[in-house]
Structure formats: structure tokens, C-alpha cells
Amino acid sequence: MQPDRYSNTQAKSREIDAGLRAHMNSIYGKMTAGVLVTALTAMVVSSSPFLLKLFLGGPQQYIVIFAPLAIIWFGFNPMTMAASKLRLAFFGISVAYGISFASIAVLASADPAYGINVAKAFFVASAMFAGLSIYGYTTKTDLSPIRTFLTMGIIGLIAVSVMNLFIQSDLMANAIAGVGILLFSGLTVWQTQEMKEMYHPSISKEKKDRYAWAAALNLYISFIALFQYILHFMNQR
């Protein structure tokens, strides 16, 4: 009886491991798709003078800047929304970020040095994100105690960032970028551990998809934030 019990335990463990890998791959696949949509949107908008003027040529640029936050706060609720609606909201956020990043694409195409900085920032952010995710996935340390600190820190960071849109202080911008890198690095580690621990093979496919879209959004935002803040410091050199 014991060998059978041991074999059943091993089989169940392999089933959970395979399911967890598939779940994590699904999350990273969704997040990567969001980054690609953002990049393609930025390229399309930056190549069209009409679209640039339409979205970024006046006060409407603030609508574009704050659109992702509005969708996250008012149009992205994994507890009540179906996975199909979460998917639409996720790609809506990706497109909104892409429109706002069109200005980066314009500068990169006009200034080769700036374009090199954009590429460097992307690769540095990608390497950091990969390392942080690996650590979050493999660490045995319980990271849940840092959740409240990170959440409050990011809320404060958003408030200060909005204020600096009007103040335009270089010193404050540097401080925001430095603190932002630290906060979103910690958030990436914690989010990776959380999405791993939330997985269970008995969860329904619909609920699993909802969790996956929510996790993909969290990781997407952390990656975009790291890229922006790293790019800020690249341009200081």
C-alpha cells in the first residue's frame, strides 16, 4: 500500500508542477503580448503626424497619460469581471501606454543617441525584471509583509509624480525615478511569489484566466515602470 501511496503522491506532485508551469507561462505570455501591443502602438502613432496631433497635440495628452490609471481603477476588477472583459481592459491599457510612448518613439527616430538609450533601457529593464521574477519564484522567504509598504509607497509615488507634472523639478524627477525603481523592483518580486502561491489545480478555468490577466497586468505595469525610470537615468548621462 505504501508504494502505491507514494506513487500517487508523486503523480499528483508532477501534475501540480506541470499545471503551475502552464499557468506561469500563460501569465508571462499575456504580459509579453501587452508589451508588444504597446511597442506597436507607439510605432504606429509616432509615424503618423495626424495621430500624434490627435492624441498628443494639446490638452488631450493628459487624458492619454491618465487613461491607464482610469482603466485600472474603474475598469479592471478580477473579482467581478469575466476573463474576456479583463482581456479587453488589459489590451486597452497596453494601447493607452503605447499612445503616450509615441513621443519616445518620435525622439528615438530623430536622435540616434536617444534611440540607443531607449534600447539600453529596455534591455536593462528586461534583465532586471527577469532576475527579480526568478528570485520571487524561487525564494522561500514570505514576502507578504512588504505588500502594504509597497502599496502605500506606490500611491505616494503616483501623487508626487502628478504634482511634478506641473512643478517640473529635475531634482524631484530624479528622486521619483530612484524610488520608483526600488518600489517596482520589490513589487515584481512580491507579485511573482503571490501569483505562484495563488495557483491551485482545482481552480476553475474561468477563475484561473481571471487571475492570469490580473497577474499579467501587475507584471506589465511593473515592467513599464522600470523601463521608464531606467530610461530617465540613461538620459541623464
pLDDT digits (tens, 9 = 90+) for 139-196: 999 998 998 999 999 999 999 998 998 888 999 999 999 999 999 999 999 999 999 8
Nearest residue to 188 via CA among 234, 237, 147: 147
Grade residue 205 by pLDDT with cuts at 50, 70 and 90.
Answer: confident
Grade residue 64 by pLDDT with cuts at 50, 70 and 90.
Answer: confident
Question: What is the 3-state secondary structure of 177-194?
Answer: HHHHHHHHHHHHHHHHHH
Which residues make Cβ contacts (< 8 Å) with residue 84, sequence separation at least 6? none
SS3 54: helix
> What digits encode the pLDDT tens for the residues 207-217?
899 999 999 99
Give the orientation angle of helix 102-110 with respect to helix 83-100, to 10 degrees: 40
d(CA 147, CA 191): 9
Grade residue 235 by pLDDT with cuts at 50, 70 and 90.
Answer: confident
Percentage of residues of the chain with pLDDT beyond 70: 93
Q: Are 176 and 161 in contact (CB under 8 A)?
A: yes
CA 113 to centroid of chain Cα atoms: 26
> What digits encode the pLDDT tens for the residues 68-117?
888 888 889 888 899 999 999 999 999 999 999 998 888 888 888 989 99
Grade residue 4 by pLDDT with cuts at 50, 70 and 90.
Answer: low
